[in-house]
Amino acid sequence: MLKRLSVIVLIFLLGGISTIIVLAQSDATPTPAPSKTPTAEETPTPEMTPEAEETAVGEVSEPFTQTDLSVLTGNVQRPNGILWFDDFLFTACTGDWTLYRIDDESGQTITYSYGVRSAHTLHIEDGDGGTELWIPDYDLDMIVRINRQSSPVPVAQDIPNPWGIAYLDEENFLVTSISENSILRVGRDGTSETLLDGFRSPTGIVVTDDVVFVVNNGSSRRSIEWIDKAKLVANEPVEPQPLLSGVQNATNLVLASDGYLYFTYALGTRGLVGRVDPTVCMENGGCGNDEFQIVIYTELAAPLAGLTISDDMRLFIHTIYRPEIYWVDLNTFNG
């Protein structure tokens, strides 16, 4: 019963209102658009009282708070999932089913493509045909391919509620299915197969040379797990191993250039960003909720649906279905 409840609530929050329609934006915004949201002065600042620190868990040595965040105006009404690539942010708007490209400094926004209904994560790469995006469309149960010249092209269909996507090799991606509690291998040719199931509402996924990291949104006991990549892709028997436990409603996952895994999670109704050293946690058989660092302690409503980090360590986040895109320089983090 608990398993069924966690999935239904998540779909209601993250997918259920994705059919709301808003007015489409213009193809280009020559200057940064005016903010559609309260100014920073109107945003309450979290008080890191001893009680709040104890509740938050993790190492709370000088995390960023709401007042440390800057707003990058992007003129996107309902972003849901965001990715940094080559000085731009790409985000899909669930309001008008449009994929936008945003300058990561000025906020200048252009329409990149139409037809993506609900994308929680994106993968992007430069190919022979230019820049291409591979996107799990949660509403349509499919993986689509997009470039600047084309509308979304269905690649793999009948993928139940796909959420996370990560590059596996030249032919394949790994995709999480939140409703099937599984990881699938999805080929660029449209083929798909389930590699491993038994997760708890898996969302974010990261693939390295040797390891696959996956987030269990539906289980704080299994917040983030790791899997031997070679065994997984060879379809050999393999069990997920604990990486981090005790984190509520973890959602997105990014491996940054500093070697840390950054993740979004919830403290009650508030969205937070934490980070953990995956090597240390793997060597120790997993880390508990007092063995990671709180990076950002926000006043934004959970879930923080968008999380991405640039090569120069600027972190961008947004909460679900709100137009504000926030950023902070991780090089100034004193954790």
Residue 2: is its pLDDT beyond 50? no
3-state class (DSSP) for residue 28: strand
Q: Which of the four pLDDT bands, split at 50, 70 and 90, describes residue 59? A: low
- 35 vs 217, residue with greater confidence: 217
Where are the chain's structural domains?
2-332
The CATH homologous superfamily for domain 2-332 is: TolB, C-terminal domain (2.120.10.30)
Residue 295 has pLDDT above 70, yes or no: yes
**Torsion sign across C-alpha atoms 301, 304, 310, 315:** positive
DSSP string, 71-85: EE----SSEEEEEEE
Distance of CA 214 to the CA centre of its chain: 11
In 3D, which of 112, 93, 92 has the Cα closest to residue 101?
A: 112
Buried b / exposed e over 192-213, threshold 16 CB at 10 Å, is beebbeebbbbbbbbbeeebbb
pLDDT digits (tens, 9 = 90+) for 300-332: 999 999 999 999 999 999 998 789 999 999 999
pLDDT value for 26: 39
| pLDDT of 156 higher than 70 | yes
pLDDT at position 40 over 90 = no
Rounded average pLDDT over 273-293? 97
Torsion angle of the four alpha carbons 307, 309, 315, 319, in this order, in degrees rounded to the nearest 10: -10
Percentage, residues of the chain above pLDDT 90 = 75
Q: Which residue has the higher pLDDT, 128 or 333?
A: 333
- pTM (predicted TM-score): 0.83
Average pLDDT over residues 110-125: 94
